[in-house]
Structure 1
Amino acid sequence: MQKTILDRVERLADDVVSLVLRGDEGPLEPWEPGAHIDLELPNWLTRQYSLCGDPGDRSAYRIAVRHDPLSRGGSEYVHLFLRPGRTLSVSSPRNHFPLRPAAEYLFLAGGIGITPIVPMLRAAVASGAAATLVYVGRSAATMPFGPELVATYGDRVRLFDRGRPDLAALAAELPAADVYCCGPASMLAAAEAAFPRVSTERFQPTRRTFGPGTAFEVVSARSGRTIPVPADESLLDALNHAGRPVPSACREGVCGSCEVSVVEGEPEHRDDIGAPAGRMYPCVSRARSPRLVLDV
């Protein structure tokens, strides 16, 4: 974890604030558009937020937080209690939503889903690529970054603060564009239906049905210890209870903070990230084989 000082809190929209976290021990770790960090809050919660500042500025990270009335304590604490000067720990940036080189881009953002898109749009324009942003919100007052994006990028930006864009028409207008979408689940589903190829970032897990969990064993490659994982317990909890703790945050398979290496055996992936080969997320994933060997 990296130590930061909360330098500024700025209101961006009716229910959104921006936090500028300045490095407390020299330059912060580098990141690329699409990355997010884990933020450890003083109320013992850890939450994930997309980086929306300038990747070229190693002195500070910038994030934006929407106040969710159904908050589990994270956004409520940020909005009501965080003040400049507070020391906060953040993780190394992780990126499951990378921007890949292309000649043309279409960015789709809904609500607070604009946060990873802001640095993506900046990078796309700087590369000389054609780039279009379609940004949807409930009202202009609830859309952070809206005015500054229009001022900076002009007609590259299309704001929809009333009504919804015609995604089928966009697909016909920009057939060669690489599409990146971040927003509520309904928007992601509509984008996936309208475009043959779309990269998405999810804030909540997809609702899917899996078969009943079965018991299996996991072996710690570092200690050689065998740990039973009951059918009604997550792999993450089994490891933690056995004294082989794994860092974790969302516990929903969307943030990637609990990633571990698989040495042997076949995982049953239940995450929304798409675990790389030889990796798994034990907060939600289990085993297809009766035994897994993990690098823990």
Structure 2
Amino acid sequence: MSEDNLLGGVLQAQVRVESLPAARQIVAVERQLDGTWRVCGNAQSGVDGLADLTILAQSTSDIYALAVDDWGQPWESDLVVAVGGLVRPTNFTGWLYRVTQSGTLPTAEPEWWNSSSMGPQPVGDAALEAERYYQPIAHGPLPIELSTGLTYRYWRVAFQSTRDAGSFKAAIAEIEFKLTGKVVGGSAFSSSDLGDGYEASVAFDGLASTSWTCASGSALPQWVGFMFDDSVDVSEVSLRAGDNAIRANRAPAAFVVECSSDGITWVERATFSEEPAWGVSESRTWMLN
């Protein structure tokens, strides 16, 4: 499976179940020329069944999309269940059971009923209602226009590993996202920070003497990034290590550049690993293909 030469695009999807719009998790996969498969996008449709999937794939790949139904939680004796949960019988026959009243399931598995028309039924001191399971059906290959222009508002660098063995696992003096076509403002953000003087904004202040540093004891991955006022295309990213040896050791040995339209669902733009040890205030730049 190759993740080289990936291009971006948007797949507009609509999910229908029994001809009605439905909220479902949608997954896009690409079949590369060598026959390998790779997940290239995902999104959640709303109650109107609509979703826009950000696709990151090779231009020569075939793209397929499928909506995934909830598979439910397998039956378990004396299981405590909450309203909205789904229970899957030991012998699955195409039906799941939606919890309509919280409670505890009995020790012995009940005689399951296979019709939603019966309405909620008591199971232990909970109540469950039959709900048909719909197997995923893939659609494709789908026509998607892919290009190198990937425009997103949110961009971040996620530290996967560093060379620091202490409490402060990640730090960086400067990050620069080189933009294509325009310059816009925005604000910095991070997964955590050490406090005043070490917040995300100092990674974008142009000063080698300041460093964003994650909170003490925070486990990796940690990330720091920038929310632009408008969607932008980033062609390369530059990092500068801290201004002393301790800070330099907190620069990434492996990291991922990620982007997002909403700050919630993230797309992996590029991955870099096995970076050599950083020198004090050393700068490096990577192209984003």
| TM-score, scaled to structure 1 | 0.28
| Larger Rg, first or second structure (1 or 2) | 2
**Bigger fraction of residues in strand:** 2
**Bigger fraction of residues in helix:** 1
Which fold has the larger relative contact order, with Cα–Cα distance below 8 Å and residues 6 or more apart in sequence? 2
| TM-score, scaled to structure 2 | 0.28
